[in-house]
Structure 1
Amino acid sequence: MIPVDDLVARVKEYNPRTDAAKLRLAYEYARKVHEGQFRRSGEPYIVHPVAVADMLARQHLDDSTIITAILHDTVEDTEATHGDISKMFGEEIAGLVDGVTKLTNLQLSSTETKQAENFRKLFMATSKDLRVVLVKMFDRLHNMRTIKSLPLEKQARKSRETMDIYAPLAGRMGMQGMRDELEDLAFQVLNPEQRTAIIRRFLKLREKAGNVIEKIYEDMVAELTDNGIEAEVIGRAKKPYSIWRKMEQKEIGFSRLSDIYGFRVITSNEMDCYRVLGAIHHRWRAVPSRFKDYISQPKQNGYRSLHTTVLGRDGKRVEVQIRTRAMHDVAEAGVAAHWAYKDGQRAENPFAVDPQSWIAQLAEHFEASADDDEFFEAVKLEMYPDKVFCFTPKGDVVKLPRGATPLDFAFAIHTRIGSACVGAKVDGQRVPLWTQLRNGQSIEIITAEGQSPQATWIDIAVTGKAKSAIRRALRAENRSRFVKLGRELARVAFEQVDKRVTEKALTTAAQRLGLGRDSEELLARLGSGEIVARRVVEILYPELSEYRGDEIETRRAVIGLSPDQNWDRGPCCQPVPGERIVGITRPGRGVVVHAIDCPCLVEFEDEMDRWIDLRWHSGPHAAVHPSAFDITLSNDAGVLGRICTLIGEQKANISNLVFVDRKPDYYRMRMEVELSDTEHLHRVMTALEAESNVAAITRYRAGIDA
């Protein structure tokens, strides 16, 4: 355990005016009330809060925050009360300890459906003083560093929670170093094999190429010296999780991953940052589209730096971050830099963000988003770094998630502009609406009077705001058609369980789905594909929606997996029982099952260690395997109803339906039908092909032009 004298000495190094007596009092009080309590590792419990306090002292935090860290578990785990803390240490510290206690008691979940709720709780709970969440963050960091003493199940749960909640929050607060460490510690628990494999491959690469970091460091220092620039150069290899994430995002093997080295250049002033950039680009070739200027366009958490990627020695990509010492302090400490002390005084860092205005801005932004999709999109934009920044013709910045399109840009400006969009220009050139936007592009939206959202826009849009607006417009414009289609889908689904669609049944289902008692709204959402008819049946008749008899359970339908491996069907090829299949392992996320002829398998040809030979279990399978069809129908009255009836007669359920194109004489739609096996697939296709109003039907597979 860290002795109290060592903790006090560490604080005095940066704050000679610290109240040492108060720190010692907090230390002794916490030791006394935690007497007899032990951690899972067998250590006295007091080791943990003192370690958290020491970590905060290394960030040069104020006395109140450090004392709060020492006391943060007293009210939660001992006989101590809020009144006791207030009487001995003052109301400020008592309030901070109370905030940490409430934050600890929040029921946070790492499931995606709870993410928005989690972040709302976090921000609302810390809106009074961000130091509460700072203590909680370092509390979690120390717990992750010592997680090996916990049972395996609890290790996994805590690690998922860390990966999904605390690591993104650290990143949003500008504490990138903490985020990297939290992610890597969680990765070590959730996917130890992949982490070990990456470390092993990295060591082999280093053995083969020598110490590349040292060589590039020497080259960089020499170049800066030749240009008369004084700067500190720091080189490092990326952490295993960062490397793994890039491999997953780009879907490439380690051997094809190039930019695994990073360097920071720290200068004395802002002008030298740009001089360093010029020297580096003069010496090495810059990688196109990999330059970002966060000095002229800082992040909301105060982060400022120049980012560039160049081709260093032997053509290896090297990421370089260039910033001043003050910018570096903010980059390391994030919003915590606001409380940092230096030479006994609160450091006046011009780049540190005022945490109160920061939290107020986030809280106001989140509260303004009433729509669930829009709110969660706002959360993801704020919490995750995968963003692009584009400009309006007037120079205003619009922030969007990576992969966003001009359509998302239009709706981000205003719903009216998005709804009237007929085209877009990117950097002066006309582009399709599905074009993915990149950082720094200038976007001009072309509108036309009388234009309204199209059904195909749902697949183009990425942001929750755009998708919600499009769905609302489509529901309003096509409500009567959707209600009619929804009624037909409901009829077929109910008939499969020998039930009739009644107004009472629909009203009850609507109420249980959170739609009030509006049966028409339920039918409209069924018709628009937002709710699946099978879901309505399951809600009303759970005992009938379960498959019985000798049907093979879905979870054991595939042979060739180990007992602890989970599997999912590849969304690209949607294999069904009876087809030849192969599995591709996803580190930490089970196995994806692909049809043997799936074009996506080409991407894994150089990673044969991830392939698993699989086959379907012989015997009857439940009709729960969705498969998509592209169908072209004549635009005649009653055709769609007959198609739904045909599919129902084949004992298949329609799980989704989207109109792809609509013409006066024909229209094309993509229909997803739940099937049991290849025989069932052929029966359904044969029945549809025999229908005179069906002009064409093909099985749809993502990435293949139907």
Structure 2
Amino acid sequence: MNTSGPVCSRNVLPAVDMARLPDYMHEFEEATDYLSGDQRGLLRRAWAIGAAAHAGQTRKSGEPYITHPVAVAQVLAEQGLDVETLLAAILHDTIEDTPLTRECIAAEFGETVAELVDGVTKLDKLHFRDRQEAAAESFRKMLLAMSRDLRVILIKLADRLHNMRTLGAKNAESRRRIARETLEIYAPIAQRLGMNLVKAELQDLGFRALHPWRHAVIEKRIRSQPVVRREALVQIEANLAQRLAKDKLQHRLISRVKSPWSIYSKMRAEHKSFNRVMDVFGFRIVLRSVTDCYHALGVVHATYKPLDARFRDFIAIPKANGYQSLHTVLFGPYGSPVEVQLRTEEMDLIAERGIAAHWSYKDGGEGPNSAQTRAHSWITGLVESQHATGSSLEFLENVKVDLFPDEVYLFSPKGDILSLPRNASALDFAYAVHTDVGNQAVAARVDDKLVPLRTRLANGQRVEIITAKSSVPKPQWLEFVVSGKARTAIRQQLKQIEHEDAVQLGHRMLDRALEARDSSLERVPAPRMESYLQEHRYPRLEALLADIALGNRMPAQVALVLSGTSASVSPASSDGLPLSRDKILINGSERGVISFAHCCLPVPGDDIMGYHTAGKGIVVHRMDCPNLVDYRKSPERWVPIGWDRKVRGDFGAALRIEVDNRPGALARVAAAIAEAESNIDKVEYLERDTNVAVLRFGIEVGDRRHLAAVIRKVRKLGVVLGIQRI
């Protein structure tokens, strides 16, 4: 750190009296008594520069603004953070809100402190469409800074914690918005990083701000617990302490009190009354070693009988945030469950402080299971996924999905342990192994049993993914994956496939248009092509071809310029549609650039024509579609389309079916459609009276022959009075 030489801030900031420290600084200095004298001197210097920079600025409460960054630094000092983090905390709002620059901070306190301050700085000075996008982009930037130094998120969480403690000065709308953001983003991040104390306070303060009446009611009920319960708590604690002492196990025994937020969450999630949620006694036993933890577990189980299937060993298999403990639930002497957690002093420190414990507890903090290492792995994964997302808002949604409070722990065939969010599918597991494994997944084996990719996984299962090189992601996959990594990878791959299909289709369309002018892409002079691409700001030919397929540029107009010929009108048939010897053949697998019109629902075998629509690509219609009359007004947008011999997939069709209106008629029709190997997509009544019902069935078929087979099968039913394709 640079502690001598000129300070650039002196040129732009007023002086501060270093001899007279305000009361809040005395409190802060008491919290930093673990630092050396020189380090505390640096903190006073940071306060002087920060106070001068924020001179004249006040908080909503009327206090000098500098009290906020000092309070943020005090939150971190109480957790034993290093001096660089505390310096950055005191200065964390200066770059954004004062004349002080990043260069000034780097010159005075070093590059590391400047980097930390810059990482926390929000992006309010940039222009965004709305507050939501600004917050999302700010979060993205913060996450990138976190990937370089985890202390950025510690400062940000402390900043949010102090803001929540002083939220009363804000108006009601701001309080609700900030509280919701805290509960959705910052409290889950604190939990993901193992910072239980910070998480618990953020949740409770957020709950109080968002639902003040509910918070007050629950808090009052907690304070007014009956004497019987308090006596029961003391009796259980005494019994456990006595048995542990008899086995000469040195320990700390703490009774755990539920917070209003944890009670409220459990009441909502499990649909339980307040009394049922509170009717659980909780204890934490802190011991000297891992061996003592397992020894104490035996003592506890000998004191009170354990409830079956309620034991969890998070020491052998730590949670994703590095949390380690033994969890057991006992059948208490008063008929109420007794929840007990057993852990070592180090585990207790990590459970309370998470990654912050790394700076205050030096032993054993660098292993593969440490909170620090796991946090880095999680953030690295998020940073990788953010490169593939289309927008900051989409990225923020993926992060929210990834912040599940519970995980399932699964085994690979080699015995590696992977943690995934609750309700994760086999496909989530595939993407957790590797993106390529997910993209090529076709099925899975769970505990040696073959299952589909949408299968939900449970704790302790052994999962093996079956892949095929020909397999590609499908849009339906997004309906059942829950992890952010899987959603991002699937979306990225689908976009890539759609782009490739668009380029191929655009190539064929432009080739047809050039052929009509006795030219081809190969014969277009390179300078003319380069000039066209530069004029219309296309980085390369593929971008132009994709734009043609998506209907954003007409192939005939592009061909006119590239061929260098004069404009002429394309010949048309007697019904006003363009003539062409060559049709573009489609096989149904084109994604995002060819869609099938809902007005006429074409299927393979129908005579069809494509209509070029901006942003949608080619919309395929049947030649007997009633809307064809309207489209004749724009013959230049029609594209000759035909079916490829290798057409595949399921195509939508609609049937109008008249049946006798009697019990069981609908079921018989549905069964006949199923027997004809067709799926029913939708059923609705068009007309209905005492004798006759008219229904519309939306079904899926392979082609016209398949559709005809379905119609024949249904027509044979005695209850069917008439059937026709719509």
TM-score, scaled to structure 2 = 0.62
- Say yes or no: does 1:148 pair with 2:168: yes
The alpha-carbon deviation at position 272 of structure 1 amounts to 0.8
Higher alpha-carbon Rg: 2
The alpha-carbon deviation at position 375 of structure 1 amounts to 7.1
1:611 aligns to what?
A: none
The alpha-carbon deviation at position 195 of structure 1 amounts to 2.2
- Say yes or no: does 1:641 pair with 2:649: no
1:688 aligns to what?
A: 696
Give a deviation string over 1:569-599, Cα, whole Å, max 9, x none.
xxxxxxxxxxxxxxxxxxxxxxxxxxxxxxx
- The alpha-carbon distance between structure 1 residues 463 and 102, as it changes in their structure 2 partners (threshold 3 A), is closer
- The alpha-carbon distance between structure 1 residues 184 and 108, as it changes in their structure 2 partners (threshold 3 A), is farther
Q: Which moved more, 1:82-91 or 1:479-488?
A: 479-488
Of 593, 596, 601, which residue of structure 2 is paired with 1:487?
596
Equivalent residue letter for 2:653: G
Alignment of 1:1-40 (within 5 A): 2-12=23-33, 14-40=34-60
Question: 1:273–1:324: 8 Å Cα contact kept in structure 2?
Answer: yes
The alpha-carbon deviation at position 313 of structure 1 amounts to 3.7
Of 278, 293, 296, which residue of structure 2 is paired with 1:276?
296
The alpha-carbon deviation at position 161 of structure 1 amounts to 1.4
Question: 2:179–2:206: 8 Å Cα contact kept in structure 1?
Answer: yes
- The alpha-carbon distance between structure 1 residues 661 and 447, as it changes in their structure 2 partners (threshold 3 A), is farther
Question: 2:194–2:371: 8 Å Cα contact kept in structure 1?
Answer: no
1:402 aligns to what?
A: 422
Question: 2:119–2:142: 8 Å Cα contact kept in structure 1?
Answer: no
Equivalent residue letter for 1:489: H
1:257 aligns to what?
A: 277
Gaps spanning 5+ residues in structure 2: where? 1-21, 502-585, 602-608, 622-648, 659-669, 700-709, 716-726
Question: 1:103–1:125: 8 Å Cα contact kept in structure 2?
Answer: no
2:74 aligns to what?
A: 54
Q: Which moved more, 1:462-471 or 1:393-402?
A: 462-471
Give a deviation string over 1:10-54, Cα, whole Å, max 9, x none.
312x23455232222222333333333221112222221221121
Of 674, 680, 691, which residue of structure 2 is paired with 1:669?
680
- The alpha-carbon distance between structure 1 residues 419 and 253, as it changes in their structure 2 partners (threshold 3 A), is farther
The alpha-carbon deviation at position 319 of structure 1 amounts to 2.7
Equivalent residue letter for 1:367: E
Q: Secondary structure at the match of 1:127?
A: helix
Give a deviation string over 1:596-637, Cα, whole Å, max 9, x none.
xxxxxxxxxxxxxxxxxxxxxxxxxxxxxxxxxxxxxxxxx9
Give a deviation string over 1:391-448, Cα, whole Å, max 9, x none.
134312232221234455456556668977567444x678887764322233456899
CA distance in 1: counterparts of 2:683 and 2:210, whole angstroms: 34
Provide the aligned length of Structure 1 versus Structure 2.
546
The alpha-carbon deviation at position 149 of structure 1 amounts to 1.0
The alpha-carbon deviation at position 231 of structure 1 amounts to 0.6
Give a deviation string over 1:322-353, Cα, whole Å, max 9, x none.
21112222222211222227xxxx67745694
Percent identical residues: 36
The alpha-carbon deviation at position 463 of structure 1 amounts to 5.1
Alignment of 1:618-629 (within 5 A): none
2:611 aligns to what?
A: 503
Question: 1:661–1:669: 8 Å Cα contact kept in structure 2?
Answer: no
Question: 2:454–2:480: 8 Å Cα contact kept in structure 1?
Answer: yes
Gaps spanning 5+ residues in structure 1: where? 493-500, 511-517, 524-636, 648-658, 697-706
The alpha-carbon deviation at position 150 of structure 1 amounts to 0.5
- The alpha-carbon distance between structure 1 residues 680 and 175, as it changes in their structure 2 partners (threshold 3 A), is farther
Of 229, 252, 267, which residue of structure 2 is paired with 1:247?
267
Question: 1:259–1:319: 8 Å Cα contact kept in structure 2?
Answer: no
TM-score, scaled to structure 1 = 0.64
Question: 1:168–1:179: 8 Å Cα contact kept in structure 2?
Answer: yes
1:363 aligns to what?
A: 380
Alignment of 1:208-357 (within 5 A): 209-257=229-277, 260-340=280-360, 349=365, 353=370, 355=372
Question: 2:593–2:618: 8 Å Cα contact kept in structure 1?
Answer: no
1:123 aligns to what?
A: 143
CA distance in 2: counterparts of 1:417 and 1:661, whole angstroms: 37
Q: Secondary structure at the match of 2:284?
A: strand
Root-mean-square deviation (CA), in Å? Answer: 5.1
Q: Secondary structure at the match of 1:266?
A: strand
The alpha-carbon deviation at position 369 of structure 1 amounts to 7.1
CA distance in 2: counterparts of 1:356 and 1:245, whole angstroms: 30
The alpha-carbon deviation at position 241 of structure 1 amounts to 1.4
The alpha-carbon deviation at position 187 of structure 1 amounts to 1.1
Q: Which moved more, 1:207-216 or 1:150-159?
A: 207-216
Give a deviation string over 1:212-242, Cα, whole Å, max 9, x none.
5434322322221232211101112221212
Question: 1:304–1:331: 8 Å Cα contact kept in structure 2?
Answer: yes
Question: 1:258–1:316: 8 Å Cα contact kept in structure 2?
Answer: no
Give a deviation string over 1:508-560, Cα, whole Å, max 9, x none.
233xxxxxxx446x99xxxxxxxxxxxxxxxxxxxxxxxxxxxxxxxxxxxxx
Q: Secondary structure at the match of 2:339?
A: strand
CA distance in 2: counterparts of 1:690 and 1:5, whole angstroms: 74
- The alpha-carbon distance between structure 1 residues 681 and 332, as it changes in their structure 2 partners (threshold 3 A), is farther
2:560 aligns to what?
A: none
Alignment of 1:545-694 (within 5 A): 640-643=652-655, 665-671=676-682, 686-688=694-696
Q: Which has the higher contact order (CA 8 A, sep 6+)?
A: 1
Q: Secondary structure at the match of 1:44?
A: coil
- The alpha-carbon distance between structure 1 residues 323 and 115, as it changes in their structure 2 partners (threshold 3 A), is farther
